[in-house]
Structure 1
Amino acid sequence: MFSYRLPFISGLLAFTLLSSCHRKVVPTTTAAGPGTSTPVAAPQGMEPSLPALKPVNTAFEFLNAKGKATMELKGDKKTVSISVRMQRDKAIWMSAGLAGFEGARVLLTPDSVRVINRLENTYFAGGYDYLSQLLNVPVSFADMQALLLGDYLPAPAGSKPTLETEAGDKQRVRYPRQNVSVERLLLATTGRVQQLKVSEAAQKRSLTVDYGDFKPLEEAAGLPFANNLNVQAQQPSGATTASVSYSKVSVGSTPLEFPFDVPKGFKRTK
């Protein structure tokens, strides 16, 4: 049987939490009904100086995915099976286990974070400050959702983003956010995010999320969806790497369940 502590599995399940900043996000998608995608122009007042940037975001209502996740932290490397379910703007549910045994379960809503650790008979219930402290990067539900889906988030109002065209029909957007520098690399032909990079020079911290193995989702009008995600976080204390490979992804309007019941006898942890 395998073992790992709550911070480890939480970090593994929440690799998508590694985001650029804590903010109230203005959605970049136009509702076009479940199972569709649409090119998204920056909302009014957000990046008006970048008319050439035309990101394409997902617009389906429910997502159900299965795959494998691997995370290496301070020499401790684990690979587990994962299940991910999502209802847009409302819930993100994740489960990880090995050999048919569930080790941890996570349920995120816009205002709460809940984690069950079956290996230690503990659970957590609180806000996003927990994940922000765990990952040393402030995060929100909107950040989680965008990173999980590989969607584009515009620069916040008041910032001055820049756009550079690179080889291979790629567009790189840069802008400052509080004390960090944020970069997003998009493929102009598809409008999909290829990479997210966040760096903080003063603290010598950086985060890079690479999206790969794009495959069309038939239920989403052939929208290219990243089936592989690779994350590398660098801090003064060392590097953390994580990778996720989906073997099955389905989207649509069929409702999904997000079961989350804390077993009797489990102790709450801070």
Structure 2
Amino acid sequence: MGCKSTATLTSGEADLTLSKKEVLKAHHKFTPVFKTLQAKVRVVYSEGEKSQTHTVSLRMEKDKVIWINSALNLIRVMITPEKVQFYNKLDNTYFDGDFSYLSDLLGTELDYTKVQNLLLGNAIFEIDKNHYNMTVFEEAYLFQPKEQLPLFELFYIINPAHFKLNSQQLQQVTEARFLHVDYLKYQIIEKQSLPEQLKIIALEADSETIIEIELKSISLNESLRFPFKIPSGFDAIDLK
């Protein structure tokens, strides 16, 4: 990985002979540890034939708050373990409620921990050796629960060279829902392994949403503020 504070996580020699315990030990070793994170994020959002690109500021206090702000403060988002809030000055609307908005957007039930894990390249649900089987699949390690949950199926693919996630996939067959997150590139920031490029594909029936995310200029453990106040006179978004 080198000693630089910012570097691309490069793959060493792939080893497909390790035990499940060894793979998970290496995987958990690279779980990022920090107090706060700040980054510039390029987001490409596509739904059907519609596509839009934004560059936003991301701030995070681990396990407490995720804060996103667009250029000129036109759109601001604050996610905490208790609620999801955002406002949009382009159409004078706001949302102040639970995780149903993000769950509908990505087609699967979400909470704060799952959203944070998704952004950091961590498994949405913790992988442990007692409840998961491991096989070698397409030159990588595939983990899936020994007993898939009744409502959805879960799959994780771990890179055999750097032991970070290549992909995590959640399928809800009866609901025709599918969430697929690919981690295309990682970077080393202050000895922490963090995603640099990821792609989220959410399918629900005939609807497809694709979100491509690139994290740049990441800094860790700085003192950050998370200002948020819904402007007066804005109209609430009703999901019902």
TM-score, structure 1 normalization: 0.72
Q: Give the whole-Å Cα distance in 1 for the aligned partners of 2:60 and 2:113.
A: 12
Q: Which amino acid aligns with 1:95?
A: N
Structure 1 residue 110: Cα displacement: 0.6
Which letter maps to 1:87?
Answer: E
Displacement after TM superposition at 1:50 (Å): 4.5
1:161 is aligned to: 132
Alignment CA distance shift 1:111-1:156 (3 Å): farther
Q: Determine the structure 2 residue equivalent to 1:173.
A: 143
Instruction: Please tell me the residue identity of whatever aligns with 1:207.
Output: L
Per the alignment, residue 68 of structure 2 pairs with 94
- Superposed CA RMSD: 2.2
1:186 aligns with 2:158: yes
Offset at residue 67 of structure 1 (A)? 2.5
> 1:7-18 alignment to 2 at 5 Å?
none
1:248 aligns with 2:205: no
1:204 and 2:173 aligned: no
Say whether 1:234 aligns with 2:203: yes
The question of whether the paired residues in 1 share the 8 Å contact of 2:107 and 2:179 is answered with no
Would you say 1:122 and 2:118 are equivalent positions?
no
Q: Measure, in 2, the Cα distance between the counterparts of 1:247 and 1:89.
A: 21
1:156 to partner: Cα distance: 8.4
Instruction: Give the equivalent residue in structure 2 for 1:265.
Output: 233
Shift of 1:135: 3.2
Matches of 1:147 and 1:80, distance apart in 2? 19
Correspondence for 1:132 among 103, 119, 127: 103
Gaps of 5+ in 1: 1-48
The answer (yes or no) to whether the contact 2:172–2:178 under 8 Å persists in 1 is yes
* Residue pair 1:82, 1:95 contacting (<8 A) in 2 also: yes
1:105 equivalent to 2:76? Answer yes
Shift of 1:139: 0.3
Quick one: distance in 1 between partners of 2:152 and 2:127?
Answer: 13
Aligned partners of 1:156 and 1:224: how far apart in 2?
20
Q: Provide Cα deviations, 1:2-53, integer angstroms capped at 9, x if missing partner.
A: xxxxxxxxxxxxxxxxxxxxxxxxxxxxxxxxxxxxxxxxxxxxxxx94232
Partner of 1:17 in structure 2?
none
1:65 partnered with 2:65 = no
Aligned counterpart, 1:8: none
Contact 1:62/1:85, CA 8 A, preserved across alignment: yes
Q: How many equivalent pairs are there?
A: 213
* AA aligned opposite 1:121: N
Q: 1:134 to 1:231 in 2, by over 3 A?
A: closer
Query: What's the secondary structure of 2:104's corresponding residue?
Result: helix
Q: Name the % identity.
A: 25
Structure 1 residue ranges (4+ consecutive) displaced by more than 6 angstroms after TM superposition: none
**How big is the shift at 1:167?**
5.0
Contact 2:94 2:230 (C-alpha < 8 Å) held by counterparts: yes
Residue 86 of structure 1: CA displacement?
A: 0.4
Which residue, 39, 56, 61 being the options, matches 1:82? 56
